[in-house]
Each structure stands twice: as structure tokens, then as C-alpha cells.
């Protein structure tokens, strides 16, 4: 069984009540349950985390690089500003996938670029909570290719 870490950035703890017209009505706990269900069907174990603190996210990325088979990151607003997250992602050797609930390319122009995107295998954006499902499926495919 592969072990992956799902790292969620700032304000995602407010899902369900924060701008539901953009982010939907699901809570972060709903997404956690969806990830667990999807991962189990692919023989993957999920360690699901959220923090509003950039340094804590950096530490978790570094830890995942040493102990996990893969990483999914929703950097939220930090994706658009954080060289530190990008550097942490560049320092790990495991496959990493960036996800966003909303389609960042249909939003304000400053959201069209993420520093973190250049440090991951791929970016999934605009499918709501299903973005996480697609990321788990992508990691599962990577694991199968590398087996």
C-alpha cells in the first residue's frame, strides 16, 4: 500500500461557508472523506492535513519527501506568492500534484500563475472536490508505471 500526503493551504478550513459560489458547499472534512474513499479503492493510504501557516506547509512537504510515496498540494493563496513552497516542492523526489477547487484561469489575473506549478508533475484545476479524486488517480497511475 502506498502512502501519500495531502497538504491544504490557507483558508481551506473555511470551505463550506467561504464563498460557496466559487468553492462550493462541501467542507474540508467532506473532501477528506472523499480522498480516503478514493485512495482506499486504489490501495493508497492518505495523510490529510491543513494549515494557514506557510512554514508548517513547508515542513510537511519536506517530511512527505522523506516518508511518503506521493504528495497532493492545494496551496490555495500561497501558490500565487510563495517561493518557499516552490522551493520545498523542488527539493523532494516524490511525485507531487497541485490541485485547485476553482478554475484559476477563469478568475482574477493574479491567480493565473502559481509558483508551485513549476515544481509539480501536474496541475488539476476547476473540478471542485473532484480535483482531489483526479489527483489521487494520477498518483495511482504514476505508482503503477514505476512498479
pLDDT digits (tens, 9 = 90+) for 87-134: 999 999 999 999 999 888 777 676 667 999 999 999 999 999 999 999
Q: Model's pTM, two decimal places?
A: 0.93
Residue that wins the pLDDT comparison between 106 and 7: 7
The residues annotated as belonging to the active site are 23, 100
Give 34-67 pLDDT, tens digit per residue. 999 999 999 999 999 999 999 999 999 999 999 9
Report how far residue 128's alpha carbon sits from residue 92's, in angstroms, rounded to the nearest whole number.
Answer: 27
The Cα 130–Cα 135 span in angstroms is 9
Residue 71 · residue 94 · CB < 8 Å? yes
Dihedral sign (CA 34, 38, 41, 47): negative
Query: Residue 26 — very low, low, confident or very high, per pLDDT cuts 50/70/90?
Result: confident
Q: For residues 86, 91, 95 and 97, what is the CA-based torsion angle, rounded to 10 degrees?
A: -10
Domains of the chain: 2-145 (3.40.50.9100)
Amino acid at each position: 500500500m502506498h502512502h501519500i500526503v495531502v497538504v491544504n493551504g490557507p483558508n481551506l478550513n473555511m470551505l463550506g461557508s467561504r464563498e460557496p459560489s466559487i468553492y462550493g458547499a462541501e467542507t474540508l472534512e467532506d473532501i477528506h472523506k472523499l480522498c480516503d474513499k478514493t485512495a482506499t479503492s486504489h490501495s493508497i493510504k492518505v495523510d490529510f492535513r491543513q494549515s494557514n501557516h506557510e512554514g508548517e506547509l513547508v515542513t510537511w512537504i519536506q517530511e512527505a519527501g522523506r516518508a511518503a510515496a506521493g504528495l497532493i498540494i492545494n496551496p490555495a493563496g500561497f501558490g500565487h506568492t510563495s517561493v518557499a513552497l516552490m522551493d520545498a516542492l523542488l527539493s523532494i523526489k516524490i511525485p507531487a500534484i497541485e490541485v485547485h477547487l476553482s478554475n484559476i484561469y477563469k478568475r482574477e489575473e493574479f491567480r493565473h500563475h502559481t509558483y508551485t506549478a513549476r515544481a509539480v508533475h501536474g496541475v488539476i484545476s476547476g473540478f471542485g472536490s473532484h480535483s482531489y479524486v483526479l489527483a489521487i488517480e494520477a498518483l495511482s497511475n504514476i505508482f503503477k508505471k514505476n512498479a
